């Protein structure tokens, strides 16, 4: 089911699509591929929206920086120095995070209106990112398919092809609050990640990945999330052809449980310390499945290069339950 959600000043419409299955209701916008809401039951059957979002288009336009629920690209996370070399060429990107590029630049995929068509139990979003958009090389054809599985799990599958060598790193930037409101820092998190990538003061990876043992980054056994995280967690499984479960987030108050399965090698844990108005710190927790930040400048990291004739594929599945 689709409906008009809002209109830009130039008359461009933004539509909202509602997906519903097995007691789960998800709303997706054509603007930014945004997951606007996810309604799921608690242990007593009471339903609440467990993601941060705005009721109208103006909210997203006035507060773009948290990237609420957005489809992020062409490169999720940061690229140091707003540039990289590839195939002997030097590419200068839009710097929108000090001297660095964050989440695709000034007008990344989160700030574009996508074409949307219905598919079985979901919607397929598509757009063409032209050669040179935000400085990235190659004409990139992108598709993101959002579907609700029989269990009620939300599956997001990404595909992309290019006509020239480029880099691609796509994710969804939903902030989760399984209580439906209030401070989410008391949620309990389990992560299948034995290492993480330390960062400098500007959040660009510094040095090699480090063992989480004995540190505040060790979530291999579930514990309260707390605060102070905006770090890439190195998933033990690495890159996989099929999505494997890597995380579980649990809210003891409501009993709601979110599981995350992915094909990606990393997960950016962000505890929402700097969400900004109208939200308070820690109102939501982002679990961004992706490749590592600054990979184009780090040959020791899993590659994010995509070349003509290849197909970029990535999949993440968000499962919901209560206990």
Instruction: State the 10-residue block means of pLDDT for the chain, 323 residues long.
Output: 96 98 98 98 98 98 96 98 97 98 98 98 98 98 98 98 98 98 98 98 96 98 98 98 98 98 98 95 98 98 98 98 98
CA pseudo-torsion sign 97, 101, 103, 105: positive
Please give the tally of structural domains in the chain: 1
Specify the CATH number for the domain of residue 224: 2.70.98.10
Residue 21, number of CB atoms within 10 A of its CB: 17
The whole-number pLDDT of residue 303 equals 98
Gyration radius of the chain over CA positions: 18
Check the annotation: does 174 bind a ligand.
yes
Cα–Cα distances (Å) from 152 to 23, 42, 88, in that order, read 7, 14, 46
Q: Which residues are catalytic?
A: 173, 288
The whole-number pLDDT of residue 199 equals 97
Check the annotation: does 230 bind a ligand.
yes
Check the annotation: does 77 bind a ligand.
yes
CA distance 313 to 244: 15
Domain range for residue 134? Answer: 2-322
Query: In DSSP terms, which residues pair with 160 in a beta bridge?
Result: 142, 312
pTM score, whole prediction: 0.97
CA distance 268 to 234: 9
195 half-sphere exposure, CB direction, 13 A CA radius: 14
Following DSSP, what letter does each residue of 267-293 receive, concatenated? EEEE--TT--TTSPTTS-EEEEEESPT
For residue 161, what is the enclosing H or E element?
strand 154-162
Check the annotation: does 43 bind a ligand.
no
The whole-number pLDDT of residue 7 equals 98
The whole-number pLDDT of residue 24 equals 98
Check the annotation: does 175 bind a ligand.
yes
What is the total residue count of the chain?
A: 323
pLDDT in tens, 64-115: 999 999 999 999 999 999 999 999 999 999 999 999 999 999 999 999 999 9
Check the annotation: does 85 bind a ligand.
no
Place of tokens 């997951």: 35
User: Can you read off the two tokens belonging to residue 251?
Assistant: 């809210």
The whole-number pLDDT of residue 114 equals 98
Contacts of 168 (CB under 8 A, 6+ apart): 73, 74, 75, 140, 160, 162, 304, 306, 312
User: Can you read off the two tokens belonging to residue 216?
Assistant: 């505040």
């Amino acid at each position: 089911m689709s409906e008009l959600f809002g209109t830009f000043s130039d008359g461009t419409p933004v539509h909202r699509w509602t997906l519903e299955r097995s007691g789960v209701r998800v709303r997706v916008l054509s603007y930014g591929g945004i997951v606007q809401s996810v309604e799921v039951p608690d242990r007593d059957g009471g339903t609440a929206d467990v993601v941060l979002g705005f009721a109208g288009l103006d909210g997203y336009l006035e507060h773009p920086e948290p990237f609420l629920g957005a489809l992020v690209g062409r490169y999720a996370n940061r690229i140091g120095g707003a540039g990289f070399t590839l195939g002997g060429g030097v590419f200068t990107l839009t710097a929108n995070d000090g001297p660095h590029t964050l989440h695709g630049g000034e007008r990344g995929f989160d700030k574009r209106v996508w074409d949307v068509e219905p598919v079985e139990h979901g919607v397929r979003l598509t757009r063409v990112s032209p050669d040179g958009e935000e400085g990235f090389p190659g004409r990139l054809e992108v598709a993101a398919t959002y579907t609700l599985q029989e269990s009620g799990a939300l599956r997001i599958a990404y595909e992309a092809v290019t006509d020239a060598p480029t880099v691609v790193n796509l994710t969804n930037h939903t902030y989760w609050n399984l209580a439906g409101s209030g401070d989410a820092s008391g949620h309990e998190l389990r992560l299948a990640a034995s290492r993480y990538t330390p960062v400098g003061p500007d959040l660009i990876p510094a040095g090699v990945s480090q063992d989480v043992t004995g540190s505040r980054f060790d979530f291999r056994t579930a514990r309260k999330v707390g605060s102070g995280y905006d770090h890439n967690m190195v998933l033990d499984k690495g890159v996989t052809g099929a999505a494997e479960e890597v995380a579980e987030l649990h809210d003891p108050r409501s009993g709601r449980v979110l599981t995350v399965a992915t094909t990606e090698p990393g997960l950016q844990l962000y505890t929402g310390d700097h969400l900004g108005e109208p939200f308070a710190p820690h109102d939501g927790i982002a679990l961004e499945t992706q490749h590592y930040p600054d990979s184009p400048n780090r040959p020791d990291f899993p590659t994010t290069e995509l070349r003509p004739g290849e197909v970029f594929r990535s999949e993440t599945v968000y499962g919901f339950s209560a206990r």
